[in-house]
Structure 1
Amino acid sequence: MTTYPAARQDFSRSVPVRLWEDGFARDPSRYYTALRSQGPVGWAELAPGVPAYVVTDRRAALDLLGDDEAFSHDPRPWESTVPDDSPVLGMMRWRPNSLFSDGVDHLRYRNSLIDTFARIEPHDLRARVHRAVRVLVGRFGPRGEADLVADFARPLMALVFNSLFGLPDSHSGRLDAALGKMMEGGAQAAAGEAEFGGYVLELIAAKSQSRGDDLPSWLLDHPAALTPEEVTWQVFLTLGAGHEPTANLVSNALSRILGNALYYSTLTSGARPVMDAVVEVLHHETPLANYGIHYARRPVTFHGAWIRAAVPVVVSYGAMAHFAEREVTSGRHPKDASHLSWSAGPHACPVRQHTLLIATEAIERLTQWLPDLDPVLPRERLGWRPGPFHRSLTALPVRFTPRSPDQPGDPS
């Protein structure tokens, strides 16, 4: 059995750091500093009246992510303690999929997803991304201005994932809107969860009746013999986990690139690969800031903190990224040190290569179409969406020389 240092910290009388406040989106460093001051594990609120332990130390995070003996991913004991209208339930509610399962069930669900995504050839995924970029540039290119969040990153993910899941482009706006509401964890979270759930249910019902050359059909026919309900929840997970964080990865990377003229010129000239910018975001501004949620199976001491059962234990990838960036700046941290944006242990992201391909190809293709993107605002004046889970821009306005996808000199 895994043992940890004796408890020095009992948070039962402590004031939690409120990650649901608007101030967290504006200045997360202040909140992460407050959490880190409590030790490797801090005490926070994900929503009013919804407390959680937050792990901000890398060693403690790795211990948590690898310990399925003391900790579970099943939220049902916690779920029974929170109101039905809690705004974080959309992101934390139990569903029979790989994210919220342990043991044999987890392996069955996870392996079905790995096998299914392995059928997507890189050249096919690349072609889908190129097509989506062309569609979007066709919409905003002639204007000479765009919001690279609302006009590019978010609809791009909806177009790419709808194509993988066998749905037409016309459905992309509905998917994007539902996931945005659910992810923020605010007043519209329940409505977003319901809209997204209805979207997936309709998709699986259609694929159950008539298969296609797409991910839901492959899952329905997988040797693991998942039921239609189980397939529904795997799709619910993969659409949500694929769309929102990848859109944020693209927009966060673009904002860092465009905020540094020298950096941008090295990318557009081909002297530096786009992958550098994407990896930099994963190291220092990870799009899924706080997640990897676990629950102690019984009360346990963990890295100096007393952890109660059935209370969320959240991994703060954002805090670790924040402190890593400070250490790089001060010269105390090697630039190539590994990050935890893909999580770690048995529940590490199973499709990271697909995500990297989508993000890098999208940015590279966009900057080929529009090589003179000029940010309207300096990076420090950009706004960030509220919510305890993500690091997500509200907008990224740019100007550029107007162009249409069919004019001479288009990327091949």
Structure 2
Amino acid sequence: MNPSTSPPPSPKPAYPAPAEAFTLSTPVRLWEDGFGADPHHYYEALRAQGPLGWAELAPGVPAYVVTDRQAALDLLHDDATWSHDPRPWETTVAEDAPILGMMRWRPNTLFSDGEAHVRYRRAFVDAFDLVEPHDLRERVHRAVDLLVGRFGPAGEADLVSGFARPLMSLVFNDLFGLPDSESGRLEAGLGKMMEGGAQAAEGEAEFGAYVLDLIAAKSERRGPDITSWLLDHPVELTAEEVTWQVFLTLGAGHEPTANLVSNVLSRVIGNPDFYSTLTSGSRPITDAVTEVLRYETPLSNYGIHYARESVSFHGVWVQAAVPVVISYGALGHFGEREFGAAHHPSDASHLSWSAGEHACPVKHHTLLIATEAVERLTQWLPDLEPVVPRDALAWRPGPFHRSLTALPVRFTPRTPDQSGERP
């Protein structure tokens, strides 16, 4: 099956009427450009409706949004009431809906329940367990060194388009078994798909073609890579199932991790006192990463569930076949406002990794990639300075992510082969 397609849609009935609790509420439009620029204003509007707010993920595509921590935990730990299978909802949505690339059903661990989920997750976890931390660290260092070699001599760079995004393309392309020359295809397709705008379908198709080429190459010739390990796993995934595991894993790994790195760098570089403690070694990079995961998480609205049947939940009548989105961004925003000073910088009690049976199974790999990337870059270029104040930076549109469009910096020109201290 081509990853850019889905099973033939069933005849589309009228979209279910909004829950009675929201009949007088105007949906908060998370697809607007303003959401990227000022998400907190939108989170305030959602929070004003109660533990669950009423929103639109795209024009005419409504969803419930959970903005209360206890409600989120109750939902994430209740697999009997909630399902990850979006197929009943898909029959209610136009096939050209821009958010389908992020939400349509596929046979993988994210969109499955019960035994199917356990089987897919086992293969997923086992494959990543074969990636040794020292090997992953070396892959990240190699990619950082390659990128610094490209932009270091110029004394200026965009740390989004020139560093964070191509870095993840190089690292994940390598982990899954394709040469560096293919990394640009991965980056371009995923970027379009995540934004959920006019180019979403095109991005989904491009990313799908990349995955199919990868599976074909590994089916013909195995290697020491995650794709080959999935193909050979004892649970005996079919080629189609491996395709969808890879489709999910690359998407879930590349974009959020790239955004995590750029969000960390924007906070660090924009705060000289914070930056000096990190570059001097008196404070670990993990503090900055944890701060971003808590207060500015890169995957700000996701963890999508569907009530198996209409149910009353935290005072709201939730209809079946309507998406219920966990707003990790809203949870972090209100946590920062209410508890900010009370949390230790290394306190990792945030929900950016989700919780329950579908909690992120490879968070340690993600943390290693992000921390090593930031640390290696700041070792090469210890005098990074922002060109634009942090409050003037622009953010990409889209209901799901918190993602900078650019992070321009300047620094003392540096080439990896020049004399002086090296990482």
Q: What's the TM-score bracket when you normalise by the shorter of the two chains?
A: over 0.9
- Partner amino acid for 1:382? L
2:213 corresponds to which residue? 202
Which residues in structure 2 correspond to 1:276-295 (within 5 Å)?
276-295=287-306
Structure 1 gaps of 5+ residues are: 1-7
Q: 1:96–1:233: 8 Å Cα contact kept in structure 2? A: yes
CA distance in 2, matches of 1:105, 1:392: 32
1:246 corresponds to which residue? 257
**CA shift for structure 1 position 49:** 0.4
Q: 1:225 aligns with which of 215, 219, 236?
A: 236
Matched, 1:216 2:233: no
**CA shift for structure 1 position 172:** 1.1
Q: 2:274 aligns with which of 263, 269, 290?
A: 263
Which residues in structure 2 correspond to 1:96-135 (within 5 Å)?
96-135=107-146
Query: C-alpha root-mean-square deviation of aligned residues, in Å?
Result: 1.2
Show CA shifts across 1:247-300 (max 9, x none): 000000000001110110111111111010000001110000000000011100
2:172 corresponds to which residue? 161
- State the TM-score, normalized to the length of structure 2: 0.94
- Partner amino acid for 1:215? I
**CA shift for structure 1 position 408:** 1.4
Q: In structure 2, do the counterparts of structure 1 residues 338 and 307 end up closer, same or farther at CA, with 3 Å as the change threshold? A: same
How many residue pairs match? The answer is: 404
CA distance in 2, matches of 1:283, 1:256: 13
2:64 corresponds to which residue? 53
| Identical counterparts, % of pairs | 75
SS of the residue corresponding to residue 368 of structure 2 reads helix
SS of the residue corresponding to residue 407 of structure 1 reads coil
Show CA shifts across 1:340-391 (max 9, x none): 0000000000000000000000000000000100100110000000000000
1:327 corresponds to which residue? 338
Which residues in structure 2 correspond to 1:334-373 (within 5 Å)?
336=347, 338-373=349-384
- State the TM-score, normalized to the length of structure 1: 0.96
SS of the residue corresponding to residue 321 of structure 1 reads helix
Q: Moved runs in structure 1, 4+ residues, more than 2 A? A: 331-337, 409-412
Q: 1:324–1:333: 8 Å Cα contact kept in structure 2? A: no
CA distance in 1, matches of 2:153, 2:343: 44
- Partner amino acid for 1:80? T
Q: In structure 2, do the counterparts of structure 1 residues 198 and 114 end up closer, same or farther at CA, with 3 Å as the change threshold? A: same
**CA shift for structure 1 position 409:** 2.4
Show CA shifts across 1:72-106 (max 9, x none): 00000000110010000000000000000000000
Q: 1:258–1:373: 8 Å Cα contact kept in structure 2? A: yes
CA distance in 1, matches of 2:135, 2:422: 17
Matched, 1:408 2:419: yes
Q: 1:128–1:160: 8 Å Cα contact kept in structure 2? A: yes
Matched, 1:145 2:156: yes
Q: 2:290–2:348: 8 Å Cα contact kept in structure 1? A: no
